[in-house]
Amino acid sequence: MKQILFSLLMVSGITFAARAQSEQYQQAMTQQVGLLDSASTFTPAGIQQAANTFERIAEAEKTQWLPYYYAAYCRVNEAFFTQDKGKVDEIADKALVNIEKAAALKGKDSEISCILSMIASARIGVDPMTRGMKYGMESGQHLEEAKRMNPENPRVYMLEGQSLLYTPEAFGGSKTKAKEKFEESLKKFAAEKPADKITPHWGEAYTKMLISQIK
């Protein structure tokens, strides 16, 4: 009897610990993803800290794709923020490692393709004159893929618009076309219903900011 009870108790203790673990995951992720909704996180140091935290969660969990996804998202933003062009590629490489781990767990996904597109775009910044064509194309191809997998993903249109906005007109950029994309993106944001708080849903405030920049 005692033995049975003992083993029962052990089991319940373990499940308790496991549930604590998954609660810990939900809680930590909700908190960290929540931070991404605030603009104050988007400083070079702030985004690096967020990336570090997501990487810790990802490496502790090992089976969840979202922490890897968010780690990649923060890293690629870090690559955009960094002032030292010599570091862009290394940071982008780190983002790539994370998103590949996310893809290995999740499979092909519209959100993952968006990040891949952003990584290619970040690399353009190192030397736009010589890299613009190669990585611009790579970035565009990932976005096409992302759109194919989920045409309702607002981030796809936001990224398309962003690329049109920052590409010189001589190379196919256009502010008016960018604005159309942003408007489309905002419509999709309005319709977007994330399953929970940690499902990727970022970008609406940023899109509004970009649209306000276009005179």
Partner 1 sequence: MLKLFSTLIIFISIPLLLQAQSVISGRVTDAKKRPLAGVNISIKGSYDGATSAKDGTFSFSSTANGERIITVSLSGYQTLEIKAELGTAQQFNLVLKETVNELKMVTISAGSFEASDEKKNTVLKPLDIVTTAGANADIVSALKTLPGAQQVGEKEGLFVRGGTGYETQTFIDGMMVRNAFFSGMPDFAARGRFSPFLFKGTTFSSGGYSAQYGQGLSSALVLESTDLPERSSYSLGIGSVGPSVGVDILTKDKKKAYGFEADYFNLSPYYKIMKQKQEPTIAPQGTNGSANYRLKTSKTGMLKVFVTGSYQRFGFEGESLEYPGFKEAFELESYNIYTNINYKENLGKGWRMNLGTSYSTNRDRIFMDTINKVPAPTRIKARQDLSQVRLMLTKGLGRFSVLRIGSEYQYGDERSRFNTFDANYVDSYAAGFAEADVYFTPRFVGRFGTRYEYTSVISRSNIAPRASLAYKLDDKSQVAFAYGEFYQKPEQQYLRFTHDLGFMRATHYIASYQRLAQFHTLRAEVFYKKYHDLLKTTPDYNNNGTGYAKGVELFWRDRKSIKNADYWISYSFLDTKRDYLNYPYEVQPDFAAKHTATLVYKHYIPSTQLNLGATYSFATGRPYYNPNRPESEFLKDRTRNLNTLSVNVNYLTSIGKAFTVFVFTMTNVLGNDQEYGFRYSSDKLRRNMVGPMAPRFFYLGMFMSFGIDRRQEQIDRQ
From the list 22, 26, 37, 59, which residue makes contact with partner 1 (rule: CB under 8 A)? 59
Joined tokens for residue 166: 């920052």
Q: Smaller CB distance to partner 1: residue 44 or 151?
A: 44
**Helix extents (H) in 62-174:** 65-81, 85-106, 110-124, 128-149, 154-166
Q: Which residue has the tokens 């767990």?
A: 105
How buried is residue 69: exposed, middle or buried, by Cβ count under 10 Å (0-12/13-18/19+)? Answer: buried
Residue 152 in contact with partner 1, rule: CB under 8 A: no
- Of 86 and 107, nearer to partner 1 (C-beta) is 86
* Listed residue (67, 128, 71) closest to 94, CA to CA: 71
**Segment near partner 1 (CB under 8 A), from 100-108, 133-141, 147-155, 182-190?**
133-141
| # residues near partner 1 by CB under 8 A | 41
State the nearest-atom distance from the C-beta of 193 to partner 1, in Å.
Answer: 29
Q: Binding pattern to partner 1, positions 157-176, x when CB under 8 A?
A: -----------xxxxx----
Q: Are 85 and 125 in contact (CB under 8 A)?
A: yes
* Least distance to partner 1, CB of residue 137, Å: 5
Instruction: Give SS3 for 196.
Output: coil
Q: Which of 45, 104, 205, 209 binds partner 1 (CB under 8 A)?
A: 45
Residue carrying the six token digits 């673990």 = 21
CA–CA distance, 64 with 53 (Å, rounded to integer): 14
Q: Which residues bind partner 1 (CB under 8 A)?
A: 5, 9-10, 12-13, 16-17, 20, 24, 28, 45, 48-49, 51-53, 55-57, 59-60, 85-87, 90-91, 93-94, 127, 129-131, 133-134, 137-138, 168-172
